Structure 1
Amino acid sequence: MVNLINLESVSKSYGVRPLLDKVSLGVGEGQRIGVVGLNGGGKTTLLEVLAGITEPDSGRVSRVGGLRLAVVTQRTDLPEGSTVGEVVLAGYAAEYEWAADSRVRSIVDGLGISALGLDTSTSALSGGERRRVALAATLVAELDLVVLDEPTNHLDVEGVRWLADHLNARKTALVVVTHDRWFLDTVCGRTWEVTGGRVEQYEGGYADWVYARAERARLAASAEEKRKNLARKELAWLQRGAKARTSKPRYRVESAEALIADVPPPRDTVELLTFAKRRLGKTVLELENVTLTAGERALLDNATWRIGPGDRIGLVGVNGSGKTTLLRVLAGETEPAAGRRIEGKTVRLAHLRQELDDLPGELRVLQAVEEIAGRVTLGKQELSASQLAEKLGFPPARQWTPVEDLSGGERRRLQLVRLLMAEPNVLLLDEPTNDLDIDTLQQLEDLLDSWPGTLVAVSHDRYLVERVCDTVVALFGDGEVTHLPGGIEEYLSRRSAAAEPRPQAKQQGAAKSSAAEWRVAAKELARLERRLDTLHKKETELHDALAAAATDPDRLQELNNELKTVLAEKDEVEQRWLETSEAVE
């Protein structure tokens, strides 16, 4: 394989801190490489050195002659006074030229450029919209190598899947920094971890990286004990969780099974539900006959939604569907146009908003945390303010940094620490993964695994939703909150089925269409099989719990009701499995 770019003993420092220290590596033709590591650890610097935006302090960067390279960084500069169409379709003289190209049409539609309007001035765009325009302009071009820094930021779940499918269909080499673990696993065949000035290289995507890191942690010194436990727990999730990974070499699977032999399941749902009911009672949050509008558009139309004790719900929908507005109504911050909101008497609610305007800039990090409380109990874990701050990415030395000097990502983490220190029993999380690196995401998920309360999370990170939430609901724009037994995959299938084909798309061959439909059906079938496995395990656990509660009538009734719910969902999933299997045969 010919390398498109080579780095030889490259070093780069800012101040006295070396971000890259004598790094040697290469990017081969057609390789798809995911770059991971702590925030501030040098990932963006590595990308900028690769792309030629930044010169190294020492070492050599060589590129193959005639390399067609494009980079999309987090610093998006678009030409002043231009329109969206002029930026994205700069290489086309007339509309019919790009409209006749199915690949370009797919990019324009898939990234929501059509919805923005090709005649819209770039000066009127938000930061997220500008990122999408820059990404579309890059993908339209014929390239040998694409370098992307956090491309999934500002994309909804549907947009992230579209981008993954698009990149997988191209032969273009890719180097991408992202904290979206589903995207890493779906797109990347190699992973670079930037740590301590080095770049550790691993075969495979996120799952393989976790395998390798867990093995490395097993062999590490006792000082790495905390990290080892987290890596092993994450590995247990990957083995038992929603996404089956059976393509690993047998020796690696056996090694992984040995590593997690004594690791408990990430979450004991029955135990947490029982605890949540004791804390919260029967009523938590309810919306009755609610009508909610945004301008003249109805987000909810006479809708009723009841959220119970211990419910862990992922809320999905396209950008602009009203997810954030709905969270604000649940939090009591916004009044609906009609209907009523009911809140249980024992509810202690915390709302993680996307805005960062509620932090005391005059305090230091630890003081800002201790302002809420000195100690906190999260499930079975009791932590001091300093310990919780350290778990979410603030080492002891950083805890004395003034809040006003923190980066955007650090301020987001501090917001989350303060929210958890209040010991809420109802959490409303609006895009909690924004600006969090993978290590911090693992720590957050570890905390939420044992957190016994009600949770509603809006997130485009499908990995987090599948890991932390038991139920998925969606806003489809029909005025309802729709329950999705099949989770995010069902949401994406429904969105695909509802989308009307473009006139040009109808002209494409039937064979290509049927092949695409078969792939969608095959993925759906695999997802349904995983869901059936999960429901079967729940059914077994509930039967065991019923046997153990034989002398407790109240507990028996509670467990019996839960078992009925599980069996009803199991029947529904089995029916959908039968229907889907016919399409795959």
Structure 2
Amino acid sequence: MAHLLGGENLSIAFATRAVLDGVTVGLEEGDRIGIVGRNGDGKSTLMRLLSGRQTADSGRVTVRGGVHVGYLDQSDVLDGESTVGFAIVGESADHVWASNPKIREIMGALVGEVDWDANIHSLSGGQKRRVALAKLLIGDDDVIMLDEPTNHLDVEGVAWLAKHLKARWRANEGAFLVVTHDRWFLDEVCNRTWEVHDGIIDPFDGGYAAYVLARAERDRMNSVIETKRVQLVKKELAWLRRGAPARTAKPKFRIEAANELIADVPEPRDTVALSKMATARQGKDVLDLENVSLSYGDKELFDNITLRLAPGERLGIVGVNGAGKTTLLRLLNGEIEPTAGKLKRGKTVQTAVLTQEVRELDDVMNMRVIEVIEREKRSFDVGGKDMSAGQLVEQLGFTKDKQWTPVKDLSGGERRRLQLLRLLVGEPNVLMLDEPTNDLDTDTLAAVEDVLDGWPGTLVVVSHDRYLLERVTDHQMALLGDGQLRGLPGGVDQYLELREAALSGKSSSAASQGPAAPSGPSESQKRDARKVLNRLERQLAKNSAADAKVHAQMATSVGDYDALAELNAKLAKLAAERAGLELEWLEASEVLE
């Protein structure tokens, strides 16, 4: 493989702290490298140095002649006064870029719903991010560097970007560096991992799963990392090993070593024990949305949806932008009233919501981290273990020195951690998290998941981070923008299949408007489609009634865990049947559009 660029003996310091200390790295053709490390350890700095956007205090960066490097910055670097079209393609005529299938695909996936003539300053942060990403990807760079590219992308957008990067070059051509906290993305697209820590860089072969294994082995062999960190890494590894088969099929991921390392590691969560604790804390009634509809003006966000949360249930919510994920949490929390239907709330329910903002910390900005937590309580029960406030704070990455830092001096990721801790110490029994992975590094995410594993309450998570959803929730549901809430027994993969089916149907419908396309389905086809829809709607109604019956049986079987297990199996079977019926319904309904 040919050398593309590299850094030799790079050192850089900010104030008195050395961020990188004499590191040497190289990028070869075919490298797909993920950069991981704690917030502030120098991931973005390393990438800026290698791209030539920043100069090291000492050392040098070399780039092979003729190699072009593209860069996606975390900050907003687009001209706010230019239009979307000009920001992406400059003065190129429409027929020039539109004739390129690669560019058309990128445009459709990232900015298809953005006004081409809008000024950049009028766009949301997410739209600006998509425009900047589209501008980068339509180029023909030999190396691309991506700093948090998955920020502001939904599950579907992250999956598309992974697919694009895997197909962008042939196996031994091109290269990219990516900094991201999205662990699924790292595992999906990377063949090497660089861990930045303590001023140095440790390279590993493989994506995130392989990196976790190799790091655990390194820590064990060197015996230099404290016991609790090793145990946390082993627990994360146990999850990876027991997760989706694709994770364990990565090159150089040594299954035998993983099995040996995690032989004594219990399951991440003791579901039965947590269910008992949750029932004791909450009773049999938690939160139920019954036949709820919600409209804003002419827009109907929800249409007659029903959602029942059980004690100890762990639910993940995915969906398209604007489908109402955050609004659903606000309905469950009682912050807004539905247009129709009702919210039924258990008598002992205490909710807490982690919002996408950090305004909840405004009133404690001048307090120190440990003072914020101790003001709530000095000792806590986490997974059956007594922990002091200091121990709990340290578990989420606040060292003893950091615990005495004023909140106003914390970074974005540190404030996010404190925001979650403050919610947890309030001891709610229903916790709702809205995009909780924002600003958190991979180590902190693992620590957050470890805390949530022992949390005995009902958990609802809205996130585009599919790794987190699969890790901390037991099942997922989707909002597809049609007013309905659908179960996903097949998880995020099933959601992507549903979206692909819906979008391909729309594309086919749009294509049929062209002069050479057929005029559309015949009347006979439409009649057949109506018959199919009627049949499916009857089946869906029966399925819904059966689902409600099983939920009612569960409510009278609290404490009988054998019966609950059997009823859960019935629910899973009904959910799988419902998913198949809904997919058929979507396909049949396209005929009538």
Please report the TM-score for the alignment, with normalisation by the length of structure 2: 0.86
Letter in 2 for 1:467: R
**CA–CA separation in structure 2 for the residues paired with 1:427 and 1:485:** 22
Distance 1:93 1:554 in 2: 67
Q: Displacement of 1:68 after TM fit?
A: 1.2
Equivalent residue number for residue 497 of structure 1: 501
Deviates more, 1:246-255 or 1:290-299: 246-255
The aligned residue for residue 279 of structure 1 is: 281
* Counterpart selection for 1:564 from 564, 567, 580: 567
Answer yes or no: is the 8 Å Cα contact 1:217–1:231 preserved in 2: no
CA shift, 1:238, in A, is: 0.9
Matches within 5 A, 1:246-325: 246-247=248-249, 252-325=254-327
Q: Is 1:376 the equivalent of 2:359?
A: no
Aligned to 2:347, the other structure's residue is in SS state coil
1:470 matched to 2:469? The reply is no
What's 1:353 paired with? Answer: 355
SS of the aligned residue for 2:278 comes to helix
- Residue 29 of structure 2 is aligned to residue 23 of structure 1: no
Aligned counterpart, 1:157: 155
Q: Classify 1:420/1:300 alpha carbon distance in 2 versus 1 (closer, same or farther; 3 Å).
A: same
Return the offset for 1:261.
0.7
AA partner of residue 563 (structure 1):
E
**3-state DSSP of counterpart to 1:66:** coil
Q: Which residue in 1 is equivalent to 2:164?
A: 166
Counterpart of 1:419?
423
Q: CA deviation at 1:129?
A: 1.8
Q: Is the 8 A contact 1:485 1:569 kept in 2?
A: yes
CA shift in 2, pair 1:328/1:124, >3 Å: same
Q: Equivalents in 2 of 1:80, 1:484: separation in Å? A: 40
Cα distance per residue 1:74-108 (max 9 Å; x no partner): 11211131111111122x62222222222111111
Shift in Å at residue 335 of structure 1? 2.0
> How much has 1:423 moved relative to structure 2?
1.5
2:40 maps to which residue?
Answer: 40
Give CA deviations for 1:39-91 in whole Å, capped at 9, x if unaligned: 0000010010011010011011100112211111111211131111111122x
Alignment of 1:41-440 (within 5 A): 41-90=41-90, 93-111=92-110, 113-171=111-169, 172-221=174-223, 224-247=226-249, 252-359=254-361, 360-440=364-444
- In 1, the alpha carbon distance for the partners of 2:477 and 2:293 equals 17
Cα gap change, 1:480 to 1:244, in 2 (>3 Å): same
Q: Is the 8 A contact 1:276 1:453 kept in 2?
A: yes
Paired amino acid for 1:470:
D
Give SS of 2:141's match: coil
Q: 1:452 aligns with which of 428, 437, 456?
A: 456
The corresponding residue for 1:516 is: none
Deviation digits for residues 164-217 of structure 1, max 9, x if unmatched? 000100113110001100000000000000010001000000000001011112
Residues 385/250 of structure 1: CA separation in 2 closer, same or farther (3 Å cut)? same
Q: Does the residue aligned with 2:507 lie in a helix, a strand or coil?
A: coil
Instruction: Name the amino acid aligned to 1:98.
Output: W
Letter paired with 1:332? G
Q: Structure 1 pair 385/492, CA: closer, same or farther in 2 (3 Å)?
A: same
Does the aligned pair in 2 maintain the 1:375–1:421 contact within 8 Å?
no
Aligned equivalents of 1:6, 1:558: Cα separation in 2: 59
- The 1-side partners of 2:301 and 2:385 are apart by 39
> Which letter maps to 1:142?
D
- Aligned 8 A contact 2:367 2:407 in 1: yes
The answer to whether the 8 A contact 1:391-1:440 is kept is no
Paired letter, 2:381:
T
2:484 matches 1:480 = yes
**Which deviates further from its counterpart, 153-162 or 373-382?**
373-382
Number of residue pairs matched by the alignment: 531
Please say which of residues 373-382 and 479-488 is displaced more in the overlay: 373-382
Query: 2:453·2:472 contact (CA, 8 Å) conserved in 1?
Result: yes
Contact 2:370 2:404 in 1 (8 A): yes
Alpha-carbon shift at residue 249 of structure 1 (Å):
6.8
- Gapped runs of 5+ residues in structure 2? 515-555, 584-593
Helix, strand or coil: the match of 2:401? helix
In structure 2, do the counterparts of structure 1 residues 248 and 319 end up closer, same or farther at CA, with 3 Å as the change threshold? Answer: closer
Determine if contact 2:205/2:252 at 8 Å carries over to the other structure: no
CA contact (8 A) 1:39 1:437 kept: yes
> Where does 1:512-527 land on structure 2 (aligned, <5 Å)?
none
- Structure 1: how far apart are the matches of 2:291 and 2:578? 31
Distance 1:425 1:246 in 2: 35
Deviations 1:381-439 (A, max 9, x none): 32222212111121111111111122222111110110111111110000111111111
* CA distance 1:373–1:572, shift in 2 (3 Å): closer
Structure 1 Cα separation of the partners of residues 134 and 507 of structure 2: 20
Aligned CA RMSD, in angstroms, stands at 2.3
Distance 1:555 1:405 in 2: 47
TM-score under structure 1 length normalisation: 0.87
Contact residue 206 and residue 251 of structure 2 kept, 8 A = no
Instruction: Tell me the percent identity.
Output: 52
Change (3 A) 1:411 1:227: same
Structure 1 unaligned segments of length 5 or more: list them.
508-552, 581-585
What is the SS of the residue equivalent to 1:358? helix
- In the TM superposition, residue 37 of structure 1 has moved relative to its aligned partner by 0.1
What is the CA–CA distance in structure 1 between the aligned matches of 2:512 and 2:179, rounded to whole Å?
32
**Which amino acid counterpart does residue 271 of structure 1 have in structure 2?**
A
Structure 2 distance, partners of 1:404, 1:450, is 30
Code of the aligned partner of 2:435: E
The separation in 1 between residues aligned to 2:257 and 2:334, in whole angstroms, is 49
TM-superposed deviation, 1:21: 0.7
Q: Distance in 1 between matches of 2:9 and 2:345?
A: 60
* Residues 259 and 373 (structure 1), Cα distance of their counterparts in 2 relative to 1, 3 Å cut: same
- Check the 8 A contact 1:377/1:423 in 2, yes or no: no
* Structure 1 residue 242 displacement after superposition: 3.1
Q: Is the 2:241–2:248 contact (alpha carbons within 8 Å) kept by the matching residues of 1?
A: no
* Alpha-carbon distance in 1 for matches of 2:430, 2:579: 33
| 1:230 CA drift (Å) | 0.6
Q: Does the aligned pair in 2 maintain the 1:22–1:59 contact within 8 Å?
A: yes
Distance (whole Å) between structure 2 residues aligned to residue 23 and residue 563 of structure 1: 57
Q: 2:193·2:206 contact (CA, 8 Å) conserved in 1?
A: yes
Aligned-pair CA distance for 1:370: 1.6
CA distance in 2, matches of 1:198, 1:476: 44
Whether contact under 8 Å (1:147, 1:175) holds in the other structure is: yes
Question: What secondary structure sits across from 2:113 in the alignment?
Answer: helix
CA contact (8 A) 1:242 1:466 kept: no
Name 1:543's counterpart in structure 2: none
| Cα separation, partners in 2 of 1:574 and 1:345, compared to 1, 3 Å | closer
SS in 2 for 1:279: helix
Match in the other structure for 2:8: 8
- Equivalent position amino acid for 1:58 in 2: S
AA partner of residue 153 (structure 1): N
What code does the residue aligned with 2:197 have? Answer: T
- Aligned residue identity for 2:159: R
Amino acid at match of 1:280: Q
8 A Cα contact 1:376 1:422, kept in partner? no
Equivalent position SS for 2:112: helix
The residue that corresponds to 2:533 in the other structure is none
Determine the C-alpha separation between the residues in 1 that align with 2:12 and 2:50. 12
CA spacing shift, 1:295–1:116, aligned 2, 3 Å = farther
